[in-house]
């Protein structure tokens, strides 16, 4: 049995969704689908919470928008009258529930993490309900189940939950085994599970991939297929590098490293559960369903050039915390990182020297992180600088940290293009090497490295 994840990017307008439903009907029998919300619906739910908090008059309009969006798609994929009517009734029941939650939010005057997670989980619920109606209308034996009703158990951390694989496995075997089998199609909304105390908890934005990996482990699937509207993992971002190639096979470790970059191919934690049970992951392009895509498995064949991808991330800023003798002062790193963590800010990476701690953060977090550090008393540092005009380049490939000469080739490639390397980080990963350049140098830097490893050396000279 396969677990197939259908991403929100494939669920846009009625016509694209009709095509996805046809693909599901054609290839989905005997398998389980984990679905995302229709494109933009989760954003709409999250963005509407402050409006509903301020003024309850905003709520009916929002519910109408959701209703209209789902009706519009349903008219195209559930074209027969009685089936459409039955679907409208089910949708109304779900939307009434959601509406009550929005009024609750307005009444309590607070967007609690608990309420935020329940409300944002509705996009996936509505999508599963809609797609199931469309498949049933085609005479297929399709049904959907809600994660909190079938025991997809999490650790209860709102907005960033982790699944309990053992308990979830037991519950899924019990509740879902009878619903799967030859000819049957089972749908599950992605993105959330339920805490041991019964709270809906989401896995973070883009978390349906992770849900699908959890379902793959829980149901002991042979393979996890991720349906997207892109080819798969690429040797670089095709928007920056015209010669970027598809990566046909990569290892769990390489995929995990690449998932952290802006390419948004996979939710960063998807690989975790799949790797534990050695479940293969394949990325499939719904626009070219016969194309091979990328495959992720335990071992990837060594490529000639050892590196698989030159990735980049522009959403990055550095906070430099200057203090003398950093390396000899016990506790300073802990103090700095706890103050930042207490604000709920994620530190992407840390590099320290004797006089400075450099923290890599998402750019939007720079100001709040600085404030958090200024609040430490007594101050364990001399001054803080923030730098925003930087971008991160990551070279990813199994074993590259132990390959003599790879780093040297990268740095001489960028030096040849007169690009200055601002900061280097050899992280603990065997599969990646990261460094920072000025944002204006990103395109030349990435192209220089890519052409060094993937084709004849060529350098986009700066003018
Ligand atoms: N719908 C959720 C989001 O937009 C989860 C997902 O798409 O995977 O973040
Ligand atoms: Mg999404």
Sheet-wide strand order for 383-387: 347-352, 356-361, 317-322, 383-387
- Cα separations in angstroms, 194 against 6, 39, 97, 126, 386: 21, 24, 17, 18, 39
Question: Residue 8 Cα, ligand 2 centroid: separation in angstroms?
Answer: 5
Residues 336 and 377 in one domain: yes
Residues 368 and 224 in one domain: no
Q: Report which listed range, 7-11, 120-124, 348-352, 429-433, is most confident.
A: 120-124
Verify whether ligand 1 is closer than 6 Å to residue 452 (CB atom): no
Question: Residue 418 Cα, ligand 1 centroid: separation in angstroms?
Answer: 40
Taking CA atoms only, the protein residue closest to ligand 1 atom 6 is 206
Find out whether 318 and 387 touch, Cβ atoms under 8 Å. Answer: yes
Name which of 320, 437, 330, 322 is nearest 369 in CA terms: 320
Q: Which atom of ligand 1 is nearest to the CA of 43?
A: 4
Asked if pLDDT for residue 92 goes beyond 60, the answer is: yes
Q: How high is the pLDDT of residue 286?
A: 95
pLDDT tens, position by position, 398-418: 888 777 788 888 889 999 988
Verify whether ligand 1 is closer than 6 Å to residue 447 (CB atom): no
Q: Which atom of ligand 1 is nearest to the CA of 211?
A: 8
Which of 208, 226, 227, 259 is the pocket-test mutation for ligand 1 (most atoms within 8 Å of CB)? 208
Residues 327 and 427 in one domain: no
Q: How high is the pLDDT of residue 461?
A: 46
Q: Which atom of ligand 1 is nearest to the CA of 7?
A: 7
Residues 200 and 90 in one domain: yes
Q: How high is the pLDDT of residue 304?
A: 64
Distance CA 289, CA 280 (A): 18
Q: How high is the pLDDT of residue 426?
A: 63
Verify whether ligand 1 is closer than 6 Å to residue 445 (CB atom): no
Verify whether ligand 1 is closer than 6 Å to residue 189 (CB atom): no
Residues 181 and 321 in one domain: no
Q: How high is the pLDDT of residue 425?
A: 73
Q: Indicate whether 430 belongs to any domain.
A: yes
Please state, rounded to an integer, the average pLDDT across all residues of the chain: 92
Ranges 142-146, 157-161, 260-264: which has the least confidence: 260-264
What's the CATH number where 435 sits?
3.30.2130.10
What's the CATH number where 372 sits?
3.30.70.260
Residues 359 and 400 in one domain: no
The residue-averaged pLDDT of 52-71 equals 97
Question: Residue 259 Cα, ligand 2 centroid: separation in angstroms?
Answer: 15
Residues 100 and 210 in one domain: yes
Q: Which residues, chain by chain, have CB under 5 Å from ion ligand 2?
A: 8, 36
Residues near 354 by beta carbon (within 8 Å), at least 6 away in sequence:
324, 325, 326, 327, 328
Residues near 303 by beta carbon (within 8 Å), at least 6 away in sequence:
397
Q: Residue 325 sits in which domain range?
A: 317-387
Q: Indicate whether 358 belongs to any domain.
A: yes
Q: Indicate whether 289 belongs to any domain.
A: no
Q: Are strands 390-396 and 309-313 parallel, antiparallel or unpaired?
A: antiparallel
Domain count of the chain?
Answer: 3
Asked if pLDDT for residue 321 goes beyond 50, the answer is: yes
pLDDT, greater one: 398 or 150: 150
Q: Which atom of ligand 1 is nearest to the CA of 205?
A: 9
Domain end, chosen from 358, 387, 416, is at 387
pLDDT, greater one: 312 or 423: 312
Q: How high is the pLDDT of residue 351?
A: 85
Residues 69 and 9 in one domain: yes
Q: How high is the pLDDT of residue 423?
A: 77
Q: What is the pTM of this model?
A: 0.90
Verify whether ligand 1 is closer than 6 Å to residue 8 (CB atom): yes
Q: How high is the pLDDT of residue 164?
A: 98
Verify whether ligand 1 is closer than 6 Å to residue 397 (CB atom): no
Asked if pLDDT for residue 459 goes beyond 60, the answer is: no
Cβ neighbours, 10 Å, residue 47: 11
Question: Residue 7 Cα, ligand 2 centroid: separation in angstroms?
Answer: 6
Domain end, chosen from 229, 256, 283, is at 229
Verify whether ligand 1 is closer than 6 Å to residue 205 (CB atom): yes
Residues 342 and 364 in one domain: yes
Where does 30-163 have alpha helices with state H? 41-54, 58-77, 81-108, 113-120, 122-137
Residues 137 and 223 in one domain: yes
Verify whether ligand 1 is closer than 6 Å to residue 268 (CB atom): no
Q: Indicate whether 205 belongs to any domain.
A: yes
Distance CA 343, CA 37 (A): 29
Phi-psi region of 418 (alpha: psi -120 to 50; beta: other; left: phi over 0): left
Distance CA 85, CA 78 (A): 9
Verify whether ligand 1 is closer than 6 Å to residue 203 (CB atom): no
Residues 105 and 210 in one domain: yes
Question: Residue 191 Cα, ligand 1 centroid: separation in angstroms?
Answer: 6
Asked if pLDDT for residue 262 goes beyond 70, the answer is: no
Which of 45, 190, 268 is the pocket-test mutation for ligand 1 (most atoms within 8 Å of CB)? 190
Q: How high is the pLDDT of residue 61?
A: 97
Q: Indicate whether 115 belongs to any domain.
A: yes
Domain end, chosen from 387, 415, 434, is at 387
Q: What angle do CA 414, 419, 422 make, to 5 degrees?
A: 100
Residues 6 and 132 in one domain: yes
Find out whether 313 and 394 touch, Cβ atoms under 8 Å. Answer: yes
Q: Give the orientation angle of helix 122-137 with respect to helix 113-120, to 10 degrees.
A: 20
What's the CATH number where 124 sits?
3.40.1160.10
Which of 45, 191, 226 is the pocket-test mutation for ligand 1 (most atoms within 8 Å of CB)? 191
């Amino acid at each position: 049995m396969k677990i197939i994840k259908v991403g929100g990017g494939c669920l846009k307008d009625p016509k694209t969704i009709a095509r996805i439903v046809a693909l599901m009907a054609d290839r989905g029998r005997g398998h389980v689908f984990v679905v995302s919300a229709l494109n933009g619906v989760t954003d709409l739910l999250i963005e509407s919470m402050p409006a509903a908090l301020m003024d309850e008059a905003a709520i009916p309009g929002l519910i109408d928008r959701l209703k209209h969006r789902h009706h519009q798609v349903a008219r195209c994929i559930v074209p027969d009258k009685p089936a459409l009517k039955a679907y409208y009734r089910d949708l109304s029941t779900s939307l009434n529930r959601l509406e009550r939650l929005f009024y609750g939010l307005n009444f309590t005057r607070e967007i609690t993490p608990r309420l935020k997670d329940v409300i944002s989980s509705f996009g996936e619920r509505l999508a599963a309900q809609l797609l199931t109606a469309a498949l049933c209308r085609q005479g297929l034996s399709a049904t959907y189940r809600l994660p909190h009703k079938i025991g997809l158990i999490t650790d209860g951390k709102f907005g960033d939950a982790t699944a309990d694989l053992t308990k979830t496995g037991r519950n899924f075997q019990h509740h879902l085994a009878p619903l799967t089998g030859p000819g049957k199609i089972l749908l599950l909304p992605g993105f959330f599970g339920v805490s041991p105390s019964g709270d809906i908890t989401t896995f973070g934005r883009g978390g349906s991939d992770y849900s699908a990996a959890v379902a793959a482990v829980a149901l002991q699937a042979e393979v996890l297929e991720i349906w997207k509207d892109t080819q798969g993992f690429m040797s670089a971002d095709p928007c920056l590098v015209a010669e970027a190639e598809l990566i046909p096979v990569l290892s769990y470790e390489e995929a995990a490293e690449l998932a952290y970059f802006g390419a948004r191919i996979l939710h960063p934690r998807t690989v975790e559960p799949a790797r534990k049970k050695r479940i293969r992951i394949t990325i499939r392009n719904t626009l070219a369903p016969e194309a091979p895509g990328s495959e992720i498995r335990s071992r990837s064949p060594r490529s000639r050039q050892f590196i698989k991808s030159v990735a980049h991330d522009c959403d990055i800023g550095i906070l430099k915390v200057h203090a003398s003798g950093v390396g000899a002062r016990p506790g300073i790193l802990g103090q700095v990182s706890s103050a930042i963590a207490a604000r709920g800010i994620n530190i992407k990476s840390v590099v320290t020297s004797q006089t400075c701690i450099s923290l890599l953060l998402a750019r939007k977090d720079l100001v709040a992180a600085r404030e958090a550090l200024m609040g430490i008393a007594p101050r364990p540092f001399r001054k803080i600088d923030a730098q925003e005009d930087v971008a991160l380049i990551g070279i990813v490939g199994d074993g590259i940290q132990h390959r003599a000469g790879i780093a040297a080739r990268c740095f001489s490639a960028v030096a040849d293009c007169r690009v200055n390397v601002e900061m280097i980080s050899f992280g603990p990963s065997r599969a990646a090497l990261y460094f920072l350049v000025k944002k204006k140098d990103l395109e030349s830097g990435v192209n220089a490295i890519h052409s060094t490893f993937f084709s004849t050396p060529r350098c986009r000279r700066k003018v």
